[in-house]
Protein backbone atom coordinates (compact mmCIF):
# COMPACT_ATOMS: atom_id res chain seq x y z
CA UNK A 1 0.00 0.00 0.00
CA UNK A 2 1.70 3.15 -1.20
CA UNK A 3 0.07 6.05 0.70
CA UNK A 4 0.11 6.46 4.43
CA UNK A 5 -2.55 4.67 6.45
CA UNK A 6 -4.14 6.82 9.14
CA UNK A 7 -5.55 4.67 11.94
CA UNK A 8 -8.04 5.65 14.65
CA UNK A 9 -9.72 3.61 17.38
CA UNK A 10 -13.25 4.21 18.64
CA UNK A 11 -15.06 3.01 21.75
CA UNK A 12 -18.37 1.32 20.95
CA UNK A 13 -21.21 -0.33 22.89
CA UNK A 14 -20.19 -3.18 25.16
CA UNK A 15 -16.93 -1.50 26.10
CA UNK A 16 -15.25 -2.69 22.89
CA UNK A 17 -12.89 -0.81 20.62
CA UNK A 18 -12.97 -0.83 16.82
CA UNK A 19 -9.95 0.20 14.77
CA UNK A 20 -10.42 1.97 11.44
CA UNK A 21 -7.65 2.67 8.95
CA UNK A 22 -7.99 5.15 6.11
CA UNK A 23 -5.70 5.91 3.19
CA UNK A 24 -4.48 9.47 3.60
CA UNK A 25 -5.08 12.42 1.32
CA UNK A 26 -8.36 11.54 -0.36
CA UNK A 27 -9.67 14.37 -2.56
CA UNK A 28 -12.30 16.63 -1.05
CA UNK A 29 -15.80 15.22 -1.56
CA UNK A 30 -14.38 11.93 -2.85
CA UNK A 31 -16.91 9.06 -2.89
CA UNK A 32 -16.32 6.63 -0.04
CA UNK A 33 -15.64 2.91 -0.27
CA UNK A 34 -15.62 0.73 2.84
CA UNK A 35 -13.77 -2.58 2.51
CA UNK A 36 -15.18 -5.20 4.92
CA UNK A 37 -12.87 -8.16 5.42
CA UNK A 38 -13.77 -11.80 6.00
CA UNK A 39 -13.05 -14.13 8.90
CA UNK A 40 -10.18 -16.52 9.58
CA UNK A 41 -7.07 -16.52 11.77
CA UNK A 42 -5.22 -13.23 11.47
CA UNK A 43 -7.68 -11.41 9.24
CA UNK A 44 -7.69 -7.62 9.10
CA UNK A 45 -8.80 -4.90 6.74
CA UNK A 46 -5.31 -3.95 5.58
CA UNK A 47 -4.11 -7.53 4.99
CA UNK A 48 -7.24 -8.68 3.15
CA UNK A 49 -7.21 -5.77 0.71
CA UNK A 50 -3.52 -4.94 0.37
CA UNK A 51 -3.74 -5.44 -3.44
CA UNK A 52 -6.85 -3.32 -3.89
CA UNK A 53 -7.12 -0.39 -1.51
CA UNK A 54 -4.42 1.81 -3.05
CA UNK A 55 -5.79 1.26 -6.56
CA UNK A 56 -9.20 2.53 -5.43
CA UNK A 57 -7.57 5.51 -3.71
CA UNK A 58 -5.61 6.32 -6.88
CA UNK A 59 -8.91 6.21 -8.78
CA UNK A 60 -10.28 9.03 -6.62
CA UNK A 61 -12.09 7.22 -3.81
CA UNK A 62 -11.90 7.75 -0.07
CA UNK A 63 -10.82 4.31 1.16
CA UNK A 64 -11.85 3.04 4.61
CA UNK A 65 -10.40 -0.21 6.03
CA UNK A 66 -12.04 -1.20 9.32
CA UNK A 67 -10.96 -4.13 11.48
CA UNK A 68 -14.03 -6.07 12.57
CA UNK A 69 -14.53 -6.94 16.21
CA UNK A 70 -12.37 -9.98 16.96
CA UNK A 71 -9.87 -9.08 14.24
CA UNK A 72 -6.95 -6.84 13.37
CA UNK A 73 -6.37 -4.16 15.98
CA UNK A 74 -9.95 -4.18 17.29
CA UNK A 75 -11.16 -5.76 20.56
CA UNK A 76 -11.20 -9.55 20.64
CA UNK A 77 -13.61 -10.65 23.37
CA UNK A 78 -14.21 -14.22 24.48
CA UNK A 79 -17.90 -14.15 23.59
CA UNK A 80 -20.48 -15.11 21.01
CA UNK A 81 -20.07 -13.41 17.64
CA UNK A 82 -23.52 -12.98 16.05
CA UNK A 83 -23.64 -11.15 12.73
CA UNK A 84 -25.39 -8.20 14.33
CA UNK A 85 -22.43 -7.72 16.73
CA UNK A 86 -20.12 -7.25 13.75
CA UNK A 87 -22.63 -4.96 12.06
CA UNK A 88 -23.53 -2.73 15.02
CA UNK A 89 -19.96 -2.24 16.24
CA UNK A 90 -18.80 -1.47 12.70
CA UNK A 91 -21.56 1.08 12.06
CA UNK A 92 -20.97 2.71 15.45
CA UNK A 93 -17.27 3.17 14.73
CA UNK A 94 -17.91 4.37 11.17
CA UNK A 95 -20.35 7.01 12.44
CA UNK A 96 -17.74 8.26 14.90
CA UNK A 97 -15.27 8.36 12.01
CA UNK A 98 -17.68 10.60 10.12
CA UNK A 99 -18.83 7.94 7.67
CA UNK A 100 -22.60 7.49 7.39
CA UNK A 101 -22.72 6.10 3.87
CA UNK A 102 -20.72 4.86 0.91
CA UNK A 103 -20.12 1.88 -1.32
CA UNK A 104 -19.62 -1.41 0.54
CA UNK A 105 -17.05 -3.98 -0.63
CA UNK A 106 -17.26 -7.22 1.36
CA UNK A 107 -15.54 -10.59 1.14
CA UNK A 108 -17.02 -13.77 2.71
CA UNK A 109 -18.23 -12.80 6.21
CA UNK A 110 -17.73 -9.17 5.16
CA UNK A 111 -20.16 -9.75 2.32
CA UNK A 112 -22.75 -11.01 4.81
CA UNK A 113 -22.20 -7.91 6.94
CA UNK A 114 -22.66 -5.68 3.89
CA UNK A 115 -25.92 -7.45 3.09
CA UNK A 116 -27.21 -7.05 6.64
CA UNK A 117 -26.43 -3.34 6.57
CA UNK A 118 -28.35 -3.02 3.31
CA UNK A 119 -31.31 -4.99 4.69
CA UNK A 120 -31.62 -3.71 8.25
CA UNK A 121 -29.80 -0.40 8.59
CA UNK A 122 -31.38 2.25 6.37
CA UNK A 123 -29.64 4.93 8.46
CA UNK A 124 -26.48 4.02 6.55
CA UNK A 125 -26.75 5.23 2.97
CA UNK A 126 -25.34 2.63 0.59
CA UNK A 127 -24.41 3.48 -2.96
CA UNK A 128 -23.46 0.10 -4.48
CA UNK A 129 -22.46 -3.32 -3.17
CA UNK A 130 -19.47 -5.34 -4.35
CA UNK A 131 -19.51 -8.84 -2.84
CA UNK A 132 -16.78 -11.45 -3.21
CA UNK A 133 -18.02 -14.95 -2.33
CA UNK A 134 -20.39 -13.49 0.28
CA UNK A 135 -21.46 -15.63 3.22
CA UNK A 136 -24.73 -15.59 5.17
CA UNK A 137 -26.92 -16.57 2.20
CA UNK A 138 -27.53 -20.15 3.41
CA UNK A 139 -28.01 -21.91 6.72
CA UNK A 140 -24.84 -21.75 8.80
CA UNK A 141 -24.67 -25.54 9.12
CA UNK A 142 -24.39 -25.92 5.34
CA UNK A 143 -21.11 -24.03 5.27
CA UNK A 144 -19.57 -26.55 7.65
CA UNK A 145 -20.04 -29.25 5.01
CA UNK A 146 -17.68 -27.43 2.63
CA UNK A 147 -14.23 -29.00 2.11
CA UNK A 148 -12.40 -25.78 2.89
CA UNK A 149 -13.76 -25.73 6.44
CA UNK A 150 -12.33 -29.19 7.12
CA UNK A 151 -8.93 -28.03 5.87
CA UNK A 152 -9.01 -25.10 8.30
CA UNK A 153 -8.88 -27.29 11.39
CA UNK A 154 -5.74 -26.31 13.27
CA UNK A 155 -4.32 -25.36 16.63
CA UNK A 156 -5.66 -21.82 16.24
CA UNK A 157 -6.37 -20.28 19.64
CA UNK A 158 -3.84 -22.48 21.45
CA UNK A 159 -0.10 -22.14 22.21
CA UNK A 160 0.57 -24.83 19.58
CA UNK A 161 -0.52 -22.56 16.73
CA UNK A 162 2.59 -21.53 14.78
CA UNK A 163 3.56 -19.51 11.73
CA UNK A 164 3.78 -22.51 9.41
CA UNK A 165 0.21 -23.43 10.35
CA UNK A 166 -0.72 -19.85 9.54
CA UNK A 167 0.93 -20.20 6.12
CA UNK A 168 -1.03 -23.39 5.41
CA UNK A 169 -4.34 -21.79 6.38
CA UNK A 170 -3.80 -18.83 4.06
CA UNK A 171 -2.94 -21.20 1.22
CA UNK A 172 -6.20 -23.09 1.78
CA UNK A 173 -8.15 -19.97 0.85
CA UNK A 174 -6.77 -19.96 -2.68
CA UNK A 175 -6.50 -22.18 -5.73
CA UNK A 176 -3.12 -23.99 -5.93
CA UNK A 177 -2.14 -21.83 -8.90
CA UNK A 178 -2.28 -18.80 -6.60
CA UNK A 179 0.33 -20.10 -4.14
CA UNK A 180 2.70 -17.25 -5.03
CA UNK A 181 0.35 -14.88 -3.23
CA UNK A 182 1.19 -16.50 0.11
CA UNK A 183 4.12 -14.20 0.80
CA UNK A 184 6.23 -14.13 3.94
CA UNK A 185 5.02 -10.59 4.65
CA UNK A 186 1.37 -11.63 4.47
CA UNK A 187 1.94 -14.69 6.65
CA UNK A 188 3.81 -12.69 9.28
CA UNK A 189 1.22 -9.90 9.29
CA UNK A 190 -1.68 -12.31 9.81
CA UNK A 191 0.20 -14.46 12.32
CA UNK A 192 0.83 -11.39 14.50
CA UNK A 193 -2.95 -10.84 14.64
CA UNK A 194 -3.84 -14.53 15.04
CA UNK A 195 -1.70 -14.82 18.16
CA UNK A 196 -3.95 -12.24 19.84
CA UNK A 197 -7.27 -13.89 18.90
CA UNK A 198 -9.27 -16.27 21.10
CA UNK A 199 -10.70 -19.38 19.48
CA UNK A 200 -14.17 -17.88 20.13
CA UNK A 201 -13.65 -15.66 17.06
CA UNK A 202 -14.30 -18.70 14.87
CA UNK A 203 -15.98 -21.17 17.19
CA UNK A 204 -18.77 -18.88 18.38
CA UNK A 205 -19.78 -17.08 15.17
CA UNK A 206 -23.56 -17.04 14.64
CA UNK A 207 -24.73 -16.17 11.14
CA UNK A 208 -28.30 -15.98 9.83
CA UNK A 209 -29.50 -17.12 6.42
CA UNK A 210 -30.17 -13.90 4.52
CA UNK A 211 -30.79 -15.76 1.26
CA UNK A 212 -34.60 -15.51 1.40
CA UNK A 213 -34.31 -11.74 1.79
CA UNK A 214 -31.99 -10.98 -1.13
CA UNK A 215 -34.87 -9.62 -3.17
CA UNK A 216 -35.21 -6.80 -0.63
CA UNK A 217 -31.80 -5.36 -1.56
CA UNK A 218 -32.48 -2.52 -3.99
CA UNK A 219 -28.93 -1.22 -4.41
CA UNK A 220 -26.93 -2.28 -7.50
CA UNK A 221 -24.87 -5.39 -6.69
CA UNK A 222 -21.74 -6.81 -8.29
CA UNK A 223 -21.01 -10.40 -7.20
CA UNK A 224 -17.62 -12.00 -7.90
CA UNK A 225 -16.86 -15.66 -7.25
CA UNK A 226 -14.11 -18.22 -7.79
CA UNK A 227 -15.29 -21.44 -9.43
CA UNK A 228 -12.98 -23.38 -7.09
CA UNK A 229 -14.15 -21.76 -3.86
CA UNK A 230 -14.15 -24.41 -1.13
CA UNK A 231 -15.74 -22.22 1.56
CA UNK A 232 -18.73 -20.48 -0.02
CA UNK A 233 -20.06 -22.44 -3.02
CA UNK A 234 -20.05 -20.62 -6.34
CA UNK A 235 -23.56 -21.96 -6.95
CA UNK A 236 -24.78 -19.36 -4.44
CA UNK A 237 -24.21 -16.72 -7.11
CA UNK A 238 -27.45 -17.92 -8.68
CA UNK A 239 -29.32 -16.86 -5.52
CA UNK A 240 -28.45 -13.25 -6.33
CA UNK A 241 -29.18 -13.57 -10.03
CA UNK A 242 -32.60 -15.07 -9.31
CA UNK A 243 -33.65 -12.69 -6.54
CA UNK A 244 -32.01 -9.27 -6.83
CA UNK A 245 -33.50 -6.57 -9.04
CA UNK A 246 -30.15 -5.02 -10.04
CA UNK A 247 -27.26 -7.50 -10.07
CA UNK A 248 -24.43 -8.67 -12.26
CA UNK A 249 -22.10 -11.60 -11.62
CA UNK A 250 -18.58 -12.54 -12.67
CA UNK A 251 -16.94 -15.91 -11.99
CA UNK A 252 -13.29 -16.88 -12.37
CA UNK A 253 -11.78 -20.24 -13.24
CA UNK A 254 -8.84 -21.62 -11.23
CA UNK A 255 -9.76 -19.25 -8.40
CA UNK A 256 -10.63 -20.01 -4.80
CA UNK A 257 -12.16 -17.93 -2.00
CA UNK A 258 -10.02 -14.82 -2.42
CA UNK A 259 -10.97 -13.25 -5.76
CA UNK A 260 -9.63 -9.85 -4.66
CA UNK A 261 -6.20 -11.43 -4.06
CA UNK A 262 -6.01 -14.16 -6.68
CA UNK A 263 -7.45 -12.02 -9.47
CA UNK A 264 -6.53 -8.62 -8.09
CA UNK A 265 -6.02 -6.81 -11.40
CA UNK A 266 -9.30 -8.00 -12.86
CA UNK A 267 -11.12 -7.39 -9.57
CA UNK A 268 -9.84 -3.83 -9.39
CA UNK A 269 -10.61 -3.05 -13.03
CA UNK A 270 -14.11 -4.51 -13.14
CA UNK A 271 -15.06 -3.15 -9.71
CA UNK A 272 -13.95 0.38 -10.48
CA UNK A 273 -15.85 0.28 -13.76
CA UNK A 274 -18.96 -0.87 -11.87
CA UNK A 275 -18.65 1.91 -9.31
CA UNK A 276 -18.04 4.63 -11.87
CA UNK A 277 -20.20 3.49 -14.79
CA UNK A 278 -22.68 0.96 -13.40
Q: Choose the catalytic residue: 37, 103, 236, 257.
A: 257
Convert the chain into a string of H (helix), E (strand) and C (coil): CCCCEEEEEEEEHHHEEEEEEEECCCCCCCCEEEEECCCCCCCCHHHHCCCCHHHHHHCCCEEEEECCCCCCCCCCCCCCEEHHHHHHHHHHHHHHCCCCEEEEEEECHHHHHHHHHHHHCCCCEEEEEEEECCCCCCCHHHHCCCHHHHHCCCCCCCCCCCHHHHHHHHHHCCCHHHHHHCCHHHHHHHHHHHCCCCCHHHHCEECCCCHHHHHHCCCCEEEEEECCCCCCCHHHHHHHHHHCCCEEEEEECCCCCCHHHHCHHHHHHHHHHHHHHC
Other CB atoms within 10 A of residue 199 CB: 14
Rounded CA separation 51/262 (Å): 10
- Confirm whether 121 is a catalytic residue: no
Catalytic residues: 257
Amino acid sequence: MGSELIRKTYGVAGGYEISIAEIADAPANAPTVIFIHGSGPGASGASNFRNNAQVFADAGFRVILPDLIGYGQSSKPEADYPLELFTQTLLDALAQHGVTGGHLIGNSLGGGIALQIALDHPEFTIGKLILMAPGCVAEQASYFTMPGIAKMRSGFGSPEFNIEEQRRLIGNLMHPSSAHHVTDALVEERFAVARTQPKDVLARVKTPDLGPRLGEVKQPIFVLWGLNDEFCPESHARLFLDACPDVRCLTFSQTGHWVQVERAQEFNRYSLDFLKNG
